[in-house]
Chain A
Amino acid sequence: MSSEMSTGTSRVKRGMAEMLKGGVIMDVVTPDQAKIAEDAGAVAVMALERVPADIRAEGGVSRMSDPDMIDGIIAAVSIPVMAKARIGHFAEAQILQSLGVDYIDESEVLTPADYSHHIDKWKFTVPFVCGATNLGEALRRLTEGAAMIRSKGEAGTGDVSNAVTHMRRIRDEVTRLASLPADELFVAAKELQAPYDLVAEVARTGSLPTVLFTAGGIATPADAAMMMQLGADGVFVGSGIFKSGNPAERAHAIVQATTHFDNPDVVAKVSRGLGEAMVGINVADIPVHHRLEDRGW
């Protein structure tokens, strides 16, 4: 072992995600919101210009946030700050790394910049989190260098059903893989469109090699508790907090429900008196071409 300090290793990238486990990462658009999130017990904030609900309402091309706005949020809090880059937009990712964000979300919530290729994440010192609707997609993102996976949901809706579908699917596919005899893993890799070595590793360990968070449509403490019971390691909450009637209280409640997800008495207690939840949109009412789950390949 040399006495050098090695930065950007897989161990520090994946390890960072391990330290976020059991926590809530909250979307914020201003330094004030970031402070509210930190005070409520968020483990990190996601700095962005518009929360998904507004992106949905306003339409247009959605891009990386203004560096001034990200700087403002970094200056406001002591907890980690994440930010989103468009799928495939490596130059946005380079900018975010130079700003000193702690994690980059290569996110389908923004308008994709490349309809064939995701970012080559191995080239970066900063770690990346990517969304996935199934195990194959998760393994392809890990192959490109992602250090953390989140199941995709339908962000900006307050409808948790897609997050549930994708979390269950990933979990079921991992379980299935772990039950296969070794000689069937070659075809499994072909079907999953993922490298054999990674497929064999998941089959052997019975889990993803990285942390798996959930995201998209989580709006209540009960939503968070449900996703944790379904096997999520932690929770991203986007529009659900700052589009609700009482953000500070709701943020606080979702943090507690995420920790005590297996204790219904606690989840019941923190669910009281939170005021209006975000209004919400049913996923079924969104035209198929406006749905986010199909972004990413």
Chain B
Amino acid sequence: MVTRTTIGVLALQGGVREHLVALDLCGVSAVPVKTVEQLDLIQGLILPGGESTTIIKLASQYELVEPIKERIRSGFPVFGSCAGMILLADHIEAGTADQETFGGLDAVVQRNAFGRQTESFETPLRLDNDMAPFPGVFIRAPLVMSVGSGVNVISTIEGGAYAGRVVGIEQENLMATAFHPELTPDLRVHHRFVKMVNESQW
């Protein structure tokens, strides 16, 4: 029997629906996840955009932090966009006092790195070695300040004041973008994560 891949989207707060739609368009089964029990039903997890301080507080109140950390350590595939990137970073700058993360990505990520909402922007990105640029949507977005040696850069900003800055990274079972692929019709980033999930042991 062939079972269909099921990927969860952490549904405590934020842009959950857009990720569910994108996963559905990629041909996998997509479910919102709010409880520990639901983690057992999925082969991969997306941490959506939203307010990182709110999401981590709710995750901690409902005892999701340790189980998610545990899975991350054991090779469970997780993709985070925007706030999700902050939640996956081992180190954050400009967080609230003692702001916790799930961690796992050996990177330093700065919160709200481009400024306030009036500085939110769209710009073309380089994604791997694709010829076609990826439409980057940055909303009060974070930025990767530095990465460890085990981290692959998968996306950078093409031009303008931030040309060459790192906005997408990957490390073994983890993937993160400072931008919101779920707010665009371009599914390349989601396909990439689905592939990661399908190739993993989960």
Question: Which residues does A use to contact B, with CB under 8 Å?
Answer: 1-9, 11-12, 15-16, 18-23, 38, 41-44, 78-80, 97, 100-103, 125-127, 255-256, 259-260, 263
Contacts and interface: CB of A to CB of B under 8 A. Distances in A.
B79 interface: no
21 contacts: A1-B124, A1-B133, A1-B135, A3-B160, A7-B120, A8-B118, A11-B137, A12-B120, A19-B139, A21-B13, A21-B17, A22-B13, A23-B14, A41-B53, A97-B118, A102-B118, A125-B118, A126-B117, A255-B54, A259-B13, A260-B34
Nearest to A234: B13
B54 A43 contact: yes
Interface of A is mostly: loop
Interface residues of B, number: 49
Contacts of B122: 5-6, 9, 11-12
B63 interface: no
B137 A19 contact: no
B119 interface: yes
B18 to A, nearest CB: 7
A5 to B, nearest CB: 4
Interface of B: 11-18, 34, 49-51, 53-54, 57-58, 61, 82-83, 94-96, 111-112, 115-124, 133, 135, 137-140, 158-163, 180, 183-184
A80 B13 contact: no
Given A11-B183, A12-B139, A15-B139, A22 B120 contact: no
B50 A23 contact: yes
B48 to A, nearest CB: 8
B120 to A, nearest CB: 4
Contact of B16 (A21, A44, A78, A79): A21
B45 to A, nearest CB: 17
A43 B50 CA distance: 8
B137 A15 contact: yes
B159 A3 contact: yes
Contacts of B135: 1
Contacts of B184: 11
A181 B88 CA distance: 48
Contacts of A79: 51, 53-54
A25 B178 CA distance: 23
Nearest to B138: A12
A18 B34 CA distance: 18
Contact of B49 (A4, A19, A103, A126): A19
A256 B162 CA distance: 38
Which of B111, B122, B184 gathers most chain A CB within 10 Å? B122
A74 to B, nearest CB: 8
A214 to B, nearest CB: 16
A43 B119 CA distance: 19
Contacts of A23: 13-14, 50-51, 54
